[in-house]
Amino acid sequence: MGATAAERIQEAKAAAKTNPAQAEAIYKEIISQGVGPTEAASRDYESALIALGELYRDQKRPHDLSELIKTSRSSFSSFAKAKSAKLVRQLLDLLAEIPNTTEIQIAVIKSCIEWAVSERRSFLRQSLETRLVMIYMGKQSYYDALTLINSLLRELKRLDDKVVLVEIQLLESRVYHALGNQAKARAALTSARTSASAVYTPPNLQAGLDMQSGMLHAEDKDFNTAYSYFIEALEGYSSLDDTERATAALQYMLLCKIMLNQGDDVSNLLNSKQALKYASPRLEAMKAVARAHANRSLEEYERALSDYRYELGGDVFIRNHLRRLYDAMLEHNLIKVIEPFSRVEIDHIAKLVGLDTQQVERKLSQMILDKVITGVLDQGERCLIIYEETERDKAYDAAIQTIQKLDNVVELLYTNQASLLE
């Protein structure tokens, strides 16, 4: 008696590592027989399909996997809509796990969206379009992402699908945040929170809202409020065993403490149960930054940035804030160095702070323009001339106010005279 399809699938799984070609042939044979009339046959087809997808993923064969997704769609009409949507998502997840497949993923998802439209599967199409938005964000195609988001928002507001609406509004907030438009990012997040208050929000989505809230508060330099949101996000991601995002939330918490100059809290946090649970080079990187900041050492700070280039540079949010922190440290060190002088060579300042002369000159120019220091750079002599701070004459301010008020009176009299002439 021949082996059943279920037994053959087990045989193929056992052979997948030693003889992948044999395993592939078995999976393809079972898939070629179609879904089948019974529940067991449908289950075997599903198992073979996912197992073949996993085989292609493990062998890093994205083109074969994308072809499998396209060719298997015709059989999905035999499944319930929820089941077929789940299978499409599973196969796309497998494709996403293969490195450097962004363009292939975009092409496959667009093809699946067209299929979903032709099959009138609105919920699957919305899910696929949401996935496409996230991929666009990953490759920094923000305007493509916004175009798709705006289309989805119009549709979802009409359908009143609150959970998906929250997800899309959160993505909108992230896109605007990435583009540097903080006002629109906050507006989108407020809309997302308003929508979320009217419906049960899944834990991963709630954690995402908390994470985004923390990031936007940090952009406003309200690091205490940001820290409290990151705690909520950490708890949410921890409950879901999402190590990647939980570690990110913990990094952001450490960043807030560093920005607030709370060195003792940084040490306590690094020694906490949570930090030990998510111990990784990413937390070691934050520890090195915190130590350099506590020591006010630019040299140590630059060494930390160099040693942990990937851990600190891979996250745009952390990279931007660490750059601002570096600027603040450099400014503080320069003010301390030039304080005893009324005239000092730029080369001497650079030597004292241990940095490149051009970098120091650029920063001093910025500080003069920002009125942090009162002075000029003498390019001919290559030196900085610092002027004595003079107290502002209050009579000058009073005179300016008087002139402004007189100007308003004259303007009013002129307007009244013009109206009388008419």
Q: Do 217 and 254 have their domain in common?
A: yes
Q: Do 280 and 262 have their domain in common?
A: yes
Q: Do 301 and 376 have their domain in common?
A: no
Range of the domain at 361: 340-390
- Which residue, 237, 316, 250, is CA-closest to 283? 250
Q: Do 226 and 307 have their domain in common?
A: yes
Q: How many whole angstroms separate alpha carbon 170 and alpha carbon 174?
A: 6
Q: Do 408 and 329 have their domain in common?
A: no
pLDDT value of residue 164 = 87
Q: Do 215 and 320 have their domain in common?
A: yes
pLDDT value of residue 206 = 95
Q: Do 320 and 215 have their domain in common?
A: yes
Q: Do 318 and 365 have their domain in common?
A: no
Does residue 402 fall inside a structural domain?
Answer: yes
Q: Do 334 and 236 have their domain in common?
A: yes
Does residue 261 fall inside a structural domain?
Answer: yes
Does residue 327 fall inside a structural domain?
Answer: yes
CB 292 within 8 A of CB 347: no
pLDDT value of residue 391 = 58
pLDDT value of residue 1 = 39
Report, as ranges of residue numbers, the positions in the chain whose pLDDT lies below 50: 1-2
Does residue 233 fall inside a structural domain?
Answer: yes
Please state the pTM of the whole predicted model: 0.78
Q: How many whole angstroms separate alpha carbon 13 and alpha carbon 27?
A: 9
pLDDT value of residue 220 = 92
Does residue 114 fall inside a structural domain?
Answer: no
Does residue 382 fall inside a structural domain?
Answer: yes
Does residue 163 fall inside a structural domain?
Answer: no
CB 32 within 8 A of CB 23: no
Q: Do 319 and 370 have their domain in common?
A: no
In the block, tokens 């996935």 appear at 131
Does residue 266 fall inside a structural domain?
Answer: yes
Q: How many whole angstroms separate alpha carbon 115 and alpha carbon 121?
A: 9
Q: Do 235 and 276 have their domain in common?
A: yes
The partner residues of 375 in beta bridges, in order of sequence, read 386
Identify the CATH number of the domain in which residue 322 sits: 1.25.40.570
The partner residues of 157 in beta bridges, in order of sequence, read none
- Tally the domains of the chain: 3
Identify the CATH number of the domain in which residue 380 sits: 1.10.10.10
Residue 143 neighbours by CB under 8 Å, 6+ apart: none
